[in-house]
Amino acid sequence: MDQDQNAPLREDVRLLGEELGTVLRSQAGDSLYATVETIRQVAVESRSHGEMPVGKLRELLDPLDDETLLEVARAFSQFLNLANLAEQRHRERLRRRHERFPGDPDTDRGLRQVLAELKKANLDQSQVLDVLSNLSVELVLTAHPTEVTRRTLIRKYDQIADRLAELDRPDATPEERDHLRRLLREQILSAWSTDEIRRERPTPVDEAKWGFATIEQSLWQAVPQGMRDIEEELALAGLDPLPSDWVPIRFASWMGGDRDGNPNVTAAVTRQVLTLARWMAADLYLRDVENLLADLSIHRASDELLARTGPSPEPYRVLLRAVRDRLRLTREVMEARVNGAAEPDGEIYASGSQLYDELSLIDRSLRAVGLAAIADGQLKDTLRRLNCFGITLLRLDIRQESTRHTDAIDAITRFLDLGSYASWGEKVKQKFLLSELESRRPLVNGAFFESEFCTEEVREVLDTCRVIAEQGPEGLGAYVISMAKTSSDVLAVMLLQKIGGVKAPMRVVPLFETLDDLNNAFTTMSALLEIPFYRERVKGGQEVMIGYSDSAKDAGFLGAAWAQFRAQEALTGIFREHGIPLTLFHGRGGSISRGGSPTRMALLSQPPGSVAGRIRVTEQGEMIRVKYGRPSVAAYNLEQYIAATLEATLLPPAEPRPEWRAEMDRLTQASVGAYREVVQDDPALVSYLRTVTPETELSRLALGSRPARRKPGGGVETLRAIPWVFAWTQMRLMLPAWLGTGAALETGLENAPQTLRAMSDQWPFFQTVVDMLEMVLAKSDTRVALWYEERLTDDAELQRLGVELRSRLARTVAALSELTGRDSLLDNNPVMRWSIRVRDPYTDPLHLLQAELMARLRTREDDPVLESALMVTIAGIAAGMRNTG
């Protein structure tokens, strides 16, 4: 076994750097290559001495004209993207190592280790199988604007990753390796010759198509591949096999359904996205059926199948031809609907069960005549895909902000001369809503839609409900209410669906996302459960969404994390008392301040009993590509979710000790106070954000269809959580991830150091807080942040705040070091430490370039070369940080 498991990673980084250098020389000339190499060497040398080479780098960068600055930025940005490819390839390598050496402490904990732990804990196999058979993991793909890399470049990077994998083959001949090196160089050249910047902002439909592409290019292969791996692990553990088509993974999406603060997502867009998803699903299943047609030339068949096909030398092909024709027609009908054309006649697949019934008939026949081995081939993969993706490809969630629902019902009550619903108290609202939900008569007729009360915004809410009604339940997931605060917020959406004619209502999911809303979640849901009508409606299960982004923006990372923990704990308890299954929906992102953490760490840090075999999680922005962009990596991450959900269900962490809870209350009081002291109370904060960080410039980058702000103007409260995190990450201050936490740790170390260390050693929740804080602090750099400030402002008040923020960051690092007993950040994670260090000499010039470009653009607006160069630095720094926001 190779003792240095990271040597191949370093070799790949070196190889890609060499090939990029060759491309630079050939395309940009020796002069640019020499400039880039000189800048790189200065940065490497200075970093090796622990310095930020501001002076030397500025001397090198200042004389460069705008065009050269652009090319320099492109060179460093390109290297960082290639380094990410090397790391992704290394993850695939480590996955194979994990399979060969499952006990290796340097690899992640997979299903094999979890099953071994369950056996060691003397858990009955029937109990394990029962949890597995009912396991539900739903991953919700969202279009939050954190993916800065163009799809065109992603495809090229995938090809480069394929070449790296082929170069790994130990049996490759020297000639083959030379050939692969040439191909690698050609693909790096192709990437270099492609514009990195997305010039047009994507529409919601474009975002949805990006999600479909992830399924087509990766997840379509990863799901059956991952299920076969899991099946083998269960057999190795001696567990009885689960049903052959068992798939505990499902996929949903917010792309085209998330209209909260995004006026570009309309009822028409949602209808189009749902139809396009049906088209893509029919197309993918059609490819599967074509493959089955080629393979199933078998004549032996059961009487059940022959009764369907009639006598035939190839009965399976008879049935499959009919399936193929119906899929083709389904695809044609969906295409006609998208294009507004006349639909062809004939019977399409209206539900997944229709296609499943026909394919499972073939499966039963093959098994009945002794051909189970054939049934366990491609057909099994297709049945598993059908159980995972359905006939609709994924389930589309609808999300809307609570006040939009209030406004819609208020318009209706005013039209009916019942008064202003918005002004009523909570009890009056509840009484009205329940009365109308139980009434058999319609609340409004066509006259309302012609009245002045039906504004464009109100009509849009009701039109969305009409789309829900016409589409049916199979392609729809949850109706998520953002900024949910009261019981009436939930009942209002139930009534609006009734008004829209929805026969099979979407489940209504309140999203608790601010600190106050999280603290009041128990009260809100308790009030609902006191209503007999509501208890009956949700007796099969309730879903509640926990918000990470806005709660952290509101209260800071530590305060939000503890509020999320306590809310989940309280909700789990009350639904257990009522005997109603609860699914917690975690609205996580890639960054620490938005709930980002490794899968197992995230699930095992939840309150005991809160997972209970069911989990729903958002996968956002660039994390979709990182975790699911390649089939083998995606299959591994799917297994991680299943293993972690099983472990958190059957081996949950112990209840936190009373003294830990009391200490967390004290810590979060200190943390929230210190956080809000800066973010809410310091009048210089908003100006500092817009002057010293690229927050304003981010709006130039065509990242996503959603506006960066909920409302124009305003302060931090109007800024969405994603650009809030993105801006601080770009200049390495990483403020949302640590502000307030340092003050809390100082308080804890002063008053209860032994308690704090026990929490860090023994409580998974607090362990996760510490580990993620250490990771993000390792990415921060006060010297980089200072350069932005020196270049971009001479305002004394902003400089005063900058000194204060850097001082708080340094104190946070010191407090964390005192708690962990480690002199250097990430001493316990050498792979991550090396990853950050190898990137610093490439991100340093990009940071300096970015600050310089921001300064130039603020005096020379709308300069296309400067603007392009700035966008390249934003993308490059995002690649270097491995997350954006």
Contacts of 774 (CB under 8 A, 6+ apart): 816, 820, 825, 826, 829
Query: Which of 828, 859, 875 is the endpoint of a domain?
Result: 828
Beta bridge partners of 620: 142
Indicate whether 717 and 787 sit together in one domain: yes
Contact 633, 91 (CB under 8 A): yes
Indicate whether 232 and 299 sit together in one domain: no
Q: What is the pLDDT of residue 231?
A: 94
Cα distance between residue 23 and residue 186, in whole Å: 9
User: In 3D, which of 159, 4, 149 has the Cα closest to residue 77?
Assistant: 149
Contacts of 274 (CB under 8 A, 6+ apart): 256, 392, 396, 467, 471, 475, 476
Query: Which of 357, 389, 421 is the endpoint of a domain?
Result: 389
Q: Is residue 98 exposed (0-12), middle (13-18) or buried (19+ Cβ within 10 Å)?
A: buried
Name the pairing type of β-strands 395-401 and 542-547.
unpaired
Indicate whether 679 and 760 sit together in one domain: yes
Indicate whether 289 and 220 sit together in one domain: no
Cα distance between residue 185 and residue 854, in whole Å: 33
- 439-476 pLDDT, tens digit each: 988 899 889 999 999 999 999 999 999 999 998 899 99
Cα–Cα–Cα angle for 175, 179, 183, nearest 5°? 170
570 backbone dihedrals φ, ψ, rounded to 5°: -65, -45
Q: Which domain holds residue 82?
A: 7-107+154-245
* Pair of tokens at residue 721: 């959580």
Report if residue 669 sits inside a domain.
Answer: yes
Report if residue 727 sits inside a domain.
Answer: yes
Residue positions annotated with a catalytic role? 144, 553
Measured between alpha carbons, how far is residue 84 from residues 89, 161, 626 in Å?
9, 10, 9
Quote the number of domains for the chain. Answer: 3
Report if residue 679 sits inside a domain.
Answer: yes
* Pair of tokens at residue 692: 């010293």
DSSP code of residue 718:
G
Report if residue 366 sits inside a domain.
Answer: yes
Indicate whether 68 and 198 sit together in one domain: yes
Contact 267, 462 (CB under 8 A): no
Report if residue 401 sits inside a domain.
Answer: no
Cα distance between residue 377 and residue 288, in whole Å: 12
Contacts of 441 (CB under 8 A, 6+ apart): none
Contacts of 97 (CB under 8 A, 6+ apart): 5, 104, 107
Cα distance between residue 581 and residue 571, in whole Å: 11
Query: Which of 779, 812, 828 is the endpoint of a domain?
Result: 828
User: In 3D, which of 207, 160, 263, 327 has the Cα closest to residue 712?
Assistant: 263
Cα distance between residue 45 and residue 65, in whole Å: 25
How many residues appear in the chain? 885
DSSP code of residue 705:
S
Q: Euclidean distance between the first and final Cα of the chain, in Å?
A: 38
Contacts of 714 (CB under 8 A, 6+ apart): none
Q: Is residue 609 exposed (0-12), middle (13-18) or buried (19+ Cβ within 10 Å)?
A: middle
The identity of residue 52, as a single letter, is: M
- 691-711 pLDDT, tens digit each: 999 988 887 665 555 555 555
Q: Which residue, chain included where needed, has tokens 């904990």?
A: 109
Indicate whether 693 and 814 sit together in one domain: yes
Report if residue 786 sits inside a domain.
Answer: yes
Indicate whether 177 and 320 sit together in one domain: no
Indicate whether 308 and 182 sit together in one domain: no
Cα distance between residue 428 and residue 400, in whole Å: 23
Contacts of 800 (CB under 8 A, 6+ apart): 684
What is the phi-psi region of residue 263: left when phi exceeds 0, alpha when psi lies from -120 to 50, beta otherwise? alpha
User: In 3D, which of 883, 765, 785, 874 has the Cα closest to residue 832?
Assistant: 883
Indicate whether 100 and 238 sit together in one domain: yes
At residue 250, the 3 state secondary structure works out as strand
User: In 3D, which of 598, 876, 551 has the Cα closest to residue 729?
Assistant: 876
Contact 870, 850 (CB under 8 A): yes
Q: What is the pLDDT of residue 709?
A: 54
Cα distance between residue 853 and residue 73, in whole Å: 11
Contacts of 761 (CB under 8 A, 6+ apart): 767
* Pair of tokens at residue 582: 């609860």
Q: What is the pLDDT of residue 343?
A: 95
Indicate whether 290 and 215 sit together in one domain: no
| pTM beyond cutoff 0.85 | yes
Cα distance between residue 368 and residue 345, in whole Å: 36
Contact 753, 572 (CB under 8 A): no
Cα distance between residue 862 and residue 588, in whole Å: 36
User: In 3D, which of 880, 873, 853, 867 has the Cα closest to residue 792?
Assistant: 853
Q: What is the pLDDT of residue 146?
A: 46
Report if residue 49 sits inside a domain.
Answer: yes
Cα distance between residue 680 and residue 683, in whole Å: 8
Cα–Cα–Cα angle for 231, 237, 239, nearest 5°? 70
Report if residue 399 sits inside a domain.
Answer: no
Cα–Cα–Cα angle for 212, 215, 219, nearest 5°? 170
User: In 3D, which of 577, 571, 428 has the Cα closest to residue 491?
Assistant: 428
Cα–Cα–Cα angle for 204, 206, 210, nearest 5°? 115
Q: What is the pLDDT of residue 144?
A: 55
DSSP 304-370: HHHHHH-S-SSHHHHHHHHHHHHHHHHHHHHHHHHHTPPPPPS----SHHHHHHHHHHHHHHHHHTT
Q: How many CA atoms lie within 13 A of 243 on its CB side?
A: 14
The parts of the chain modelled with pLDDT lower than 70 are 1-4, 49-53, 95-108, 144-150, 589-597, 621, 700-721, 826-831, 883-885
Q: What is the pLDDT of residue 219?
A: 97
Q: What is the pLDDT of residue 364?
A: 97
CB-CB neighbours of 73 under 10 Å: 26
Contact 605, 586 (CB under 8 A): no
Contact 248, 231 (CB under 8 A): no
E strands in 671-824: none
List the CATH number of the domain containing 358: 1.20.1440.90
Q: How many CA atoms lie within 13 A of 376 on its CB side?
A: 12
Long-range contacts for 430-437 (Cβ within 8 Å, ≥24 apart)? Answer: 430/487, 430/488, 430/491, 430/531, 433/409, 433/488, 433/491, 433/492, 433/494, 433/495, 434/491, 434/531, 434/533, 436/495, 436/498, 437/491, 437/494, 437/495, 437/498, 437/533
Cα distance between residue 101 and residue 90, in whole Å: 16
The identity of residue 686, as a single letter, is: V
Indicate whether 195 and 324 sit together in one domain: no
Indicate whether 228 and 309 sit together in one domain: no
Cα distance between residue 827 and residue 670, in whole Å: 28
User: In 3D, which of 15, 217, 207, 154 has the Cα closest to residue 875?
Assistant: 154
Contact 788, 692 (CB under 8 A): yes
